[in-house]
Chains A and B, each alone.
Chain A
Amino acid sequence: MLLLLRSVRRDKSVRSKKENHPDTLSNKLTRREALSTGAKIGIAAGVAAVVAGVGGYFGGLASVPAKEVVKTIKETVTQTVGGAGIFGKGYRFSYVTHGGEENVFWNSVMLGMKEAAQLVGADAVMLRPKKEGDLAQESANFESTIAERPDGIVVPIAYLELLPLVKKATDAGIPVIVHNIDAPNAEDRIKAGGLSFIGQDLDFAGYFLAKTLSKYFKPGGHALILIEGPGQVWAEERAKGIIQFLKEYNTTYERLDVGFDLALVESRTSAYLQANPQTTAVFSVGYTAPIAGKVLQSMGRKPGEVAIGTFDLVPLVIDGIKSGYTTIAIDQQPYLQGFLPIIQLTLMKKYGLSAWDVNTGNAIVDQSNVSKVEELSKKGYR
């Protein structure tokens, strides 16, 4: 029952998101497409009616879930059939990720994916595990989608165990583009068949964050690095870059393993900062360093006393920068990581062009530009 309620609620949020981006192109559907769409909906509705009918007939109680079935399947199908650009019409692309359904960062990637798909008229879905970073489910999703043979797969290499699946897809003739997280050694990804990498150069981004933040704290101090995904490639790569700069800058550091659970981050960070008041800078490899700002505020410290640098423009980070406690954030522009793979794959399919690496960036956000960025971030574009 609980499961059901949660799903329904989530379903609603999906729906309202769709309403923000109405499917204005659908009236341009050709007749054939309209027919096949109609047929698909027909079959779906038919089966739904049978399932619902069986339930209703048997229990009478089933009328509510039955209605949900019909609604859901119709939506599934309309969403699946997608909008109707012409350039990449008929292509089907699958995104496979470790970013759980609750991870806000991946919602921006998904928005980029959806809008690119609408633009070229392709169909794209993003397969996300129920739990953040669930490798077993991610690899099961990956294998399932390979079996379905889409025209292209887009995947971040959060775990090295995904590389054999990249190879399996490539061997099956499906082009694979890696986004968001590259293999620590790009050679491995290329050998497995990953055609290009679209995302941040993570190691460099860590270095860049630390170097940029160094304007706000003196050498010879002490830094705290929050690790949201200990052992995961993206987290370790960024941490490596940060640590490399700190060594050059003659700053001592300590790693603190945290997750994305903000309450946990707060309790650990608070304990650490109480015990180590000499800390001059706080970094996070994910987006949770602003929590350190809140902790410092409650400890009575002033904004700017401790420099805080973080990644990714989630609401938490934007609020942190506006409050003055979070100094800078590096934006890796997730929208692009969702948008560009479809453009590349479509060009590859259509004109045989090759894929190309894109560094989606090291855009710095601080108090000077935060309000402008905030507007775009609210809409999911930054």
Chain B
Amino acid sequence: MTLNARKLTIALLQRKEISITIISLITISFFYSLQPKFLSPANVDVLLKITPELGIPALGVTLLMIAGEFDLSVGSVFAFTSLFTTLLLEMGVNPWLSVLLALGACSLIGLSHGLITVKTGIPSFITTLGGLLVWRGVALVITGGLPKFFAMPTEFTNIMAGKITTFLHAQMLWFFGIAIIFLLILERHKFGNWIYSTGGKKDAARAMGINTDKVKIICFILSSFTAGLGGIIQSARLNQALPNQGEGLEFDAIAAAVIGGTSLFGGAGTIIGTIIGEYLSRIIENGLIIIRAPSYYFRLYIGIVVIIAVIINLYIQRRAIRIRG
């Protein structure tokens, strides 16, 4: 190997996303070989349209997981934010203001999860498990369990989830916009360095003067905020705020992050990995429909992919060390 090729190989192998990209390509060719309609424009458009609303919460969850904490409440906050918006609408509040207030409320939810976790030392797994029950409960109380019409002006629906052209939907711009901001924070801003250090070794970060509590609380807020935004986008797309929307989202989001190389123990993970992980989950879901497999298989495949992705990540890391010698 020439020196340059060697350097390139090392650089590539160092990117954690490489394994997940390989798995995605294998998966795509698998579905395509069984049913070419998988890559038909109509189906690709479907995939692009439905992924962002579930992917945005996964971005927030990724930041929080890198900081070493979990958020099991995102599915409930996802529903709560939409339903809270409809509640404000019914009270006659201006639609735009309603959404802002609802997003503010869900940020406060994140703040409360963060404060409880860092101040009492209760594991976030427990705090946000409580959040999962509480906010779903509040959502049900708000609505009496009934679906609500998400009565927003057309301009709003268009901004959140309108179709711009084929293959380009407004929700994709939100998804990639937030992804780019988070990417810059993580890789190019000192706050990103603080997030990695807080999750990678909290004591070291504190000894170096980083306020790890503050870092975690901000990540909790971002996690709740992205969950709420995802809920608003889904409701705008379906014109409905449903008390059961987003159920199970917490595990989908964690799975997407882990498939994309985020460590369950904190300190490692990337935004690009989560994006690919999220698309891979949706590709498997959609591909199984396209090849007409019974829907039961989805969980089985996702489970297998999670395990394979983690194993390959480990393998590639070891391999990268060996090449470097």
Contact = CB atoms under 8 A, between A and B. Distances in A.
Q: Do A and B bind each other?
A: yes
Interface of A: 1, 3-8, 10-11, 14, 40, 43-44, 47, 50-51, 54-55, 58-59, 61-62, 65, 68-69, 72, 76, 79-80, 92, 94, 101, 123, 125-136, 139-141, 143-150, 159, 161, 172, 230-232, 257, 259
A43 B291 CA distance: 13
Contacts of B240: 135, 159, 161
Interface in B193-209: none
B133 to A, nearest CB: 13
Contact of B300 (A68, A161, A172): A68
12 contacts: A3-B306, A7-B303, A10-B296, A14-B296, A58-B308, A58-B312, A59-B311, A80-B293, A130-B248, A133-B244, A136-B245, A144-B289
B50 A140 contact: yes
Nearest to B75: A131
Interface of B: 22-23, 26, 29-30, 33-35, 37, 40, 42-43, 45-46, 49-50, 53, 144-147, 234, 238-240, 242, 244-245, 247-248, 251, 255, 285-286, 288-304, 306-308, 311-312, 314-315
Contact of B296 (A4, A7, A50, A259): A7
B292 A125 contact: yes
A148 B304 contact: no
Contact of B43 (A7, A40, A134, A144): A144
Contacts of A134: 244-245, 247
B50 A11 contact: no
Contacts of B304: 4, 65, 68-69
B255 to A, nearest CB: 7
Given A3-B299, A232-B147, 10 more contacts: A1-B307, A10-B300, A11-B300, A55-B307, A55-B312, A59-B314, A76-B297, A125-B289, A140-B286, A148-B43
A79 B292 CA distance: 9
4 nearest interchain CB pairs? A4-B303, A147-B43, A7-B300, A59-B311
A148 B38 CA distance: 7
Given A59-B314, A131-B244, A144-B43, A4 B308 contact: no
Contact of A148 (B242, B289, B302, B307): B289
Contacts of A44: 30, 34
A54 B248 CA distance: 30
B147 A159 contact: yes
B289 A145 contact: yes
B230 to A, nearest CB: 10
Contacts of B247: 131, 134
A54 B245 CA distance: 37
A149 B292 contact: no
Given A58-B315, A72-B300, A230 B145 contact: yes
Given A79-B294, A130-B298, A141-B289, A43 B238 contact: no
Given A47-B29, A231-B145, A231-B146, A14 B289 contact: no
Contact of B293 (A3, A125, A159, A231): A125
A145 B303 CA distance: 23
Nearest to B308: A55
Nearest to A96: B289
A377 B288 CA distance: 30
B307 A65 contact: yes
Contact of A123 (B292, B297, B307): B292
Given A7-B296, A47-B26, A230-B145, A58 B290 contact: no
Nearest to B50: A140
Contact of B37 (A65, A69, A128, A149): A149
Contacts of A65: 303-304, 307-308
A17 B298 CA distance: 18
Contacts of B296: 7, 10-11, 14, 101
Given A3-B255, A40-B34, A134-B247, A147 B145 contact: no
Nearest to A4: B303
A261 to B, nearest CB: 12
B33 A128 contact: no
A248 to B, nearest CB: 26
A131 B26 CA distance: 28
Contact of B238 (A76, A149, A161): A161
A5 B144 CA distance: 34
Contacts of B244: 131-134
Contacts of B311: 55, 58-59, 61-62
Contact of A47 (B33, B46, B300): B33
B43 A127 contact: no
B26 A141 contact: no
A123 B293 CA distance: 11
B304 to A, nearest CB: 5
